[in-house]
């Protein structure tokens, strides 16, 4: 009976199966690419809110800088994201905010005020400090007039708005740009309010 298997070409070598070490190396390489891609996908920037940076933080006050081209609608989305965190968990670490009441074991974010600016000058530590201490009236007025948004959280209440605060005489000329988003009691009380420490 005649053998029907193909005759190898002169000078050609029969193909060898891949070595086990080579297979393992290829598997590791493909797995590494899959892990890198998966990590990039999971850690991609959140496109539902605008990019922002923490310009400064002093105790419970935080100054945030957003790009100049950020619209009021995008700032509103960012405020609503902080509001969601405040209502659900009060854990603002993923939002880049350090604990504002770090010595309180029950609630490390018992109080929080966030100021939003598109001019990064007003988000600098020196400006925030001067505003909080009230030592410079010019800085205080400029700080309030330059606000693009505000988010405030206490144990029982929350407030959010676009533009300078409504209750400020320094911002009377810019009230047309002011819009209150929400103000009132929290639907979910803070940990401290829900479980007060008994008085001695």
Taking only the tens place, the pLDDT of each residue in 48-78 is 899 999 999 999 999 999 999 999 999 999 9
Please tell me whether the overall predicted TM-score, pTM, comes out greater than 0.85 for this model.
no
Q: How confident is the model at residue 24 (pLDDT cuts 50, 70, 90)?
A: confident
Percent of the chain with pLDDT over 70: 72
Please measure the distance between the N-terminal and C-terminal CA atoms of the chain and give it in whole angstroms.
105
pLDDT for 10: 59
pLDDT for 36: 64
Q: SS3 for 20? A: helix
Q: Is the pLDDT of residue 190 over 60?
A: no
The Cα–Cα gap between 59 and 112 comes to 9
- Strands (E) across 31-188 are located at 53-58, 61-65, 112-117, 149-153, 157-162, 179-185
């Amino acid at each position: 009976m005649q053998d029907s298997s193909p005759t190898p070409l002169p000078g050609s070598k029969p193909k060898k199966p891949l070595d086990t070490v080579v297979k393992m190396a290829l598997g590791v390489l493909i797995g590494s690419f899959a892990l890198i891609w998966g990590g990039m996908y999971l850690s991609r920037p959140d496109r539902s809110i605008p990019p922002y940076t923490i310009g400064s933080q002093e105790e419970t006050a935080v100054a945030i800088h957003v790009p100049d081209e950020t619209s009021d609608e995008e700032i509103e989305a960012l405020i609503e994201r902080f509001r969601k965190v405040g209502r659900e968990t009060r854990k603002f670490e993923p939002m880049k905010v350090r604990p504002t009441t770090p010595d309180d074991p029950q609630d490390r974010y018992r109080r929080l005020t966030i100021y939003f600016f598109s001019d990064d000058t007003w988000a600098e530590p020196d400006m925030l400090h001067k505003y909080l201490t009230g030592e410079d009236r010019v800085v205080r007025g400029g700080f309030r007039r330059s606000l693009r948004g505000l988010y405030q959280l206490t144990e029982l209440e929350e407030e959010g708005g676009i533009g300078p605060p409504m209750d400020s005489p320094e911002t009377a000329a810019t009230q047309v740009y002011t819009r209150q988003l929400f103000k009132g009691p929290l639907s979910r009380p803070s940990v401290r309010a829900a479980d007060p420490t008994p008085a001695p």
